Chain A
Amino acid sequence: NAGVMQNPRHLVRRRGQEARLRCSPMKGHSHVYWYRQLPEEGLKFMVYLQKENIIDESGMPKERFSAEFPKEGPSILRIQQVVRGDSAAYFCASSPDRPPGELFFGEGSRLTVL
């Protein structure tokens, strides 16, 4: 039973380009969460999705960031027109049910903006 799969593990973009991060949840999990982590800091909640629906996006920046979790395929976190401040590790997690409960995390996607 594969865990949460994230790709790419490392992504380098120049300022102004777009970054797309993908997340396949664990088998049987329909709830997906995206968190962002800066070096030496905790994980900051960004968005919570359930198949085809955004449940909570209170942690998402108002501009340039979007997330989706289509009926088929992985969840995508999209960052348009990246800036240096977007450089961070982005973690995806999944759960079989809605909160509260354990989240199962992927290994993260590390975005570097030059």
Chain B
Amino acid sequence: GESVGLHLPTLSVQEGDNSIINCAYSNSASDYFIWYKQESGKGPQFIIDIRSNMDKRQGQRVTVLLNKTVKHLSLQIAATQPGDSAVYFCAENMMVAPLVFGKGTRLSVIA
């Protein structure tokens, strides 16, 4: 299940289940969105991106959904594996402004 602690919200998922990580973005004028994965002690790694003229994009085991009406972005991970355990950040660009990151969600995969 999902819980909000003192710091990062945490999503706990059984290995093999699908994960859905949600993100509410701030700027209705943002036109590019991206998901990053950050493992402990490391830099963010690109997962998938989507432009505002799309509402869905699929990668390998991952899908990003964009709902511009409610300014909501989600990342779906199919058949979650222990290696997926990390903190996931959504980020948004508005035109040529640098990426603005959201707060992040910690995904914990239970074997």
Q: Which residues of A contact B (CB under 8 A)?
A: 4, 33, 35, 39-45, 48, 56, 91, 98-108
Q: Are A101 and B32 in contact (CB under 8 A)?
A: yes
Tell whether A41 pairs with B103 under 8 Å between CB atoms, given A99-B97, A101-B32. yes
Tell whether A91 pairs with B43 under 8 Å between CB atoms, given A48-B98, A99-B97, A100-B31. yes
A108–B7 Cα distance when bound, in Å, is 21
Residue in contact with B43 in the complex, picked from A48, A101, A107, CB distance below 8 Å = A107
The residue of chain A having its C-beta at the shortest distance from the C-beta of B106 within the complex is A40
Tell whether A100 pairs with B96 under 8 Å between CB atoms, given A42-B102, A43-B89. yes
Chain B residues whose C-beta falls within 8 Å of the C-beta of A100 in the assembled complex: 31-32, 93, 95-96, 99
Q: Are B97 and A56 in contact (CB under 8 A)?
A: yes
B86 to chain A, nearest CB (A): 14
28 contacts between A and B (CB under 8 A): A35-B101, A39-B7, A40-B8, A41-B8, A42-B101, A42-B104, A43-B101, A45-B98, A45-B100, A45-B101, A56-B98, A98-B96, A99-B32, A99-B93, A99-B96, A99-B97, A100-B95, A100-B96, A101-B32, A101-B93, A102-B34, A103-B99, A104-B46, A105-B44, A105-B45, A107-B41, A107-B42, A107-B43
Chain A residues whose C-beta falls within 8 Å of the C-beta of B41 in the assembled complex: 107
Q: Are B43 and A105 in contact (CB under 8 A)?
A: yes
A43–B34 Cα distance when bound, in Å, is 14
Chain B residues whose C-beta falls within 8 Å of the C-beta of A43 in the assembled complex: 44, 89, 101
Chain A residues whose C-beta falls within 8 Å of the C-beta of B103 in the assembled complex: 41-42
Tell whether A40 pairs with B93 under 8 Å between CB atoms, given A33-B98, A56-B98, A100-B31. no
A91–B31 Cα distance when bound, in Å, is 24
Mark B14-46 against chain A: 1 for CB-CB distance below 8 A, else 0.
Answer: 000000000000000001101010000111111
Chain B residues whose C-beta falls within 8 Å of the C-beta of A41 in the assembled complex: 7-8, 103-104
B40 to chain A, nearest CB (A): 11
